[in-house]
Amino acid sequence: MIPLGFLLSLGLAAEPALQPRELKRAVPVEMKYLLFLPKDYAGKANANWPLIVFLHGSGERGDDLDAVAKHGPPKVAAAKPDFPFVVASPQCPKDRFWEPSKVVALVDELVEKYRVDPERVYLTGLSMGGSGTWDTACHYPNRFAAIAPVCGSGMPWRANYLKGVPVWAFHGEKDKGVPIERSESMVEAVKKAGGSATLTRYPDLGHDCWTKTYDDPALYEWFLKHTRPAAKDKK
């Protein structure tokens, strides 16, 4: 790098010191995922479907996609062919954690290739995936109509980014793996920032509060009540 003063002393052609430039780089993302399409997907050719992206916990990391279907929306959808969502369940590699940019890259892929309504994209996950839900939504708040972190951990100092994203969190009060205070602090921080957040507490449950959460139709009914305002730009 040549010092600016030296450049000027050479008498170079007068050119604005600050010039607008645009850098575009296509960064490839490789990710395995399970995909569920409702039984009416093919028959309703003009319909755009709501999308649930599900982030699994640390125990399902690796390269065995069958493990991803053990819990949550992919398990529910497998038992209910008429489940009214497209469900994408990516798998995190072994010894890695969820990366928000890769989760959103998957959303982009699905919106491009399938009849997914970009204004009805919902994000949820359990344990490590609950933390990934908080983190991804904080990085890309304008991409999700609503989020449901389950027994996860977030960063309260970043909760102001979620003031426009409806949140329904879930946690067992007897959770020794991820203390319920982690969800409490996030929900309170979102509220303090002016957002809408609710925490469902399970007094008798420990870390596995996800079975009860995802088996309850109320969660999916709640998702469908929320649509991302189309006026917002993607982050």
Q: Is pLDDT above 80 for 230?
A: no
**175 within 8 A of 202, measured Cβ to Cβ:** no
**In this predicted structure, what is the pLDDT of residue 18?**
63
**In this predicted structure, what is the pLDDT of residue 104?**
95
**In this predicted structure, what is the pLDDT of residue 205?**
98
Q: What is the pLDDT of residues 155-193, one digit of tens each?
A: 999 999 999 999 999 999 999 999 999 999 999 999 999
**In this predicted structure, what is the pLDDT of residue 25?**
61
Residue 106's alpha-carbon distances to 54, 89, 110, 132, 194, in angstroms, are: 11, 10, 6, 14, 29
Region 201-211: what's the mean pLDDT? 98
CA distance 54 to 38: 16
**In this predicted structure, what is the pLDDT of residue 42?**
85
CA distance 228 to 130: 21
Q: What is the pLDDT of residues 47-101, one digit of tens each?
A: 899 999 999 999 999 999 999 999 999 999 999 989 999 999 999 999 899 999 9
- At 174, list the tokens: 């007897």
Largest CA distance in the chain: 77
Confidence band of 22 (pLDDT split at 50, 70, 90):
low
**In this predicted structure, what is the pLDDT of residue 133?**
98
Mean pLDDT of the chain: 88
Q: What is the pLDDT of residues 99-115, one digit of tens each?
A: 999 999 999 999 999 99
Torsion of CA 226, 222, 137, 116, to 10 degrees: -60
Quick one: CATH architecture of 29-224?
A: 3-Layer(aba) Sandwich (3.40)
Q: Is pLDDT above 60 for 12?
A: no
**In this predicted structure, what is the pLDDT of residue 26?**
64
Instruction: Determine what percent of the chain is predicted with pLDDT higher than 90.
Output: 80
Neighbours of 66 (CB within 10 A): 9
